[in-house]
Structure 1
Amino acid sequence: MSDKKSDLSLIIMAAGSSSRFCAQAPAHYRIKKQWIRLGSLPLWQKVANDFKKIYNFKKIIITACDLDFVYMQKICDFEIVLGGKTRWESMQNALEHVQTQAVLISDVARWNLDENVFFNLLEAFDDSTDCVAPYLEVPDTAIYKETYIDRTALKLIQTPQLSRTQKLRCLKNENFTDESSAISANHGKVVYIPGSPKLAKLTYYNDIFALKELPSPSVEIFTGNGFDVHAFEKGKKMVLGGIEIQSDFGFAAHSDGDVALHALSDAILGAIGGGDIGEWFSDEDPQYKLADSKVLLKQIYDFAISIGFQLIHADITIIAQTPKIAPYKSKIHTSIAEILYMDKSRVNIKATTTENLGFIGRKEGIAVMANVNMKFINWKEKI
């Protein structure tokens, strides 16, 4: 890399949905691979820290999907950039924040940094080169469309790859899976160097076995609480805890007004440090007009799972003078347990009145308190 070895930025691609990885896991275990926890540290942060330890990059940029974007910004000091629908779009978004002449791009799925490969990339990058990529040889007999081919001519391409920034910026929007293939297709010079088995990708859930030597998730417990109030509105259907309640009035709200699920949503967000339900679903956004709160709660909890959390227990207190909650408690109990993929023994529903005191006692509305305990998903249980 001549005399410009400090003129280098790093992009870590972590905006993927982990669809292949999550497809093999049950719903309550669908943690995205970039959020596998090592202690309390997510895998993407471990990868960024590893790179930071071995080289003084001008900037370390991490791409994130839209759901993860704000959350990742809250919990780290790295520069988080909103990714796109494809790897190419995510890369181009990240390149807008790069000022260096060269950029190293790595996939978070290649979580095991090989320092020798990294420094060999630097050594091979010269003024005539547009990209340097590591590769593995193919040790087995290879067939392509029923024809045996020369395996010595095959290369399994890995990341990280070191590229000329301006060359990447000029690429057309095509479905390339890495930088070397895109640059080669656009008549750039690509140099290949030996890679490393350490750079194997974490792609499918069964690949998690490769992480067995890494630290287990922290066993700490996270507690969150939520509180919500809604006034009554005549002529509107009442929905509470995901169950329709027989009543002449419902809740005054932008959505269906399910005060129990709103409080529970806030409790989950509190436990994971995810803000509040108003930040997620604005009451000024027309798409949430009369929205089903079961769908909103499921979206929040699915997000919590995707970043590595799971519920241990939920306790919900409904404070109402009217309507009578007792006839519906069992159905509410079952409804909430199903939404949260939990056994009913992990969910508790309580109901009380205010003894005719206050706005609740005057039968003007309902309040709900919710408390949850959560922990990190222990992915090592599956090894």
Structure 2
Amino acid sequence: MANDEPSVGSSGGNPTVAALICAAGAGARTGFAEPKQYRDLGGGQPMLTETARVFLAHPRIAHLRIVIGEGQLGRYEEAIAPLRGSRKLGPPATGGATRQASVRAGLAALAGTPPDIVLIHDAARPFASAALIERAIEAAAATGGATPGAPVTDTICFVTDTGARGETLDRARARLLQTPQAFRYAELVAAHERAAAEGRDDFTDDGALFAWAGHEVAMFDGEARNVKLTTPDQFDDALLRRAGAAFLAQGDLRTGSGFDVHAFGPGDHVMLGGVRVPHEFGLVGHSDADVALHALTDAILGALADGDIGAHFPPSDPAWKGAASDQFMADAVRRVRAAGGAVAHLDLTIIGESPKIGPHREAIRTRIAEIAGMPLGRVAVKATTTERLGFAGRREGLAALASATIRLPFREGFEP
């Protein structure tokens, strides 16, 4: 992804992707005094904050819009305050009386810079994973419209008019429909416009509307943990513990370190952590010379025991001349995920007399979290000087030191 404002238009071979989060409901079924999307899930973070963070952190999501209810702007502003550093988050759209009307309002909000693919997600599903979002994008790109479905493990039956047990359903053919549902943007907009023109306002999910409009809706694997929080008992601590069980089960804990140096040269800015920072000099390098992302990339590759940045992106290759370094780090993260693992924590120290990092710290943290597809709370960014000693003290360049902690599943034959 480019380091300037994300584009949501066509990008040729790689489809641009936007996401809509539906957060306009009153949450009446929970019995809470406030809409459930603003209820604290623990640690002082509302559910909407956690849901939005997952999408903002995904490297393939270029833009996010949240659809809120009438009169909810104040609560919304409080919820998204920790996310304001993200350039992906656009202003909220105001929803309607039904979910269908709210989605249509969100789609209209994207019309100025229409994406190729749009993901529609419920604010009440805060446990969706980066892998689920990736599957949604790939399914929509391949088929035009797709919805996630989780296998049914309980026995399901109909209920008779008298309230007695009726016919038992074949659960092997049943799926629990989830979000994010994913579609080609233009086709979903056309389906919504047709439904509005014909007075159909009773669709409770976009897959049903898309199918009604004549499109085939593909299915892809959902996730058991991707539950929709609807009733009060679902907000208890046990559910939150279960949501993290898959992550904690990855018991092979590894750490890696990375270090990088670049000299100052002509220019009016430096790239640090994927953020353009104004400066009287630039940094010299084959790529964009982002010392922060280079150090982080090496730290992740080191934890994975998979070479270093030069092995995967050699400076002798003209393909990487002037390249944005976010793609190097994103590739390292992809390698961790391909091994069945996850990046658990990133710690970065930027070393130099100038520029001052403090004013840019949160933007750098946010951008690194976006590239890595991880929560902001798992990214640390610090800065220090060398007390005017050495090349950094003489303002000849910048250095960065990074560490990465990753979790991998234990492999057969490996003794923990």
Q: What is the TM-score with the length of structure 2 in the denominator?
A: 0.46
Q: What is the TM-score with the length of structure 1 in the denominator?
A: 0.50
Give the structure with higher Rg (CA): 1
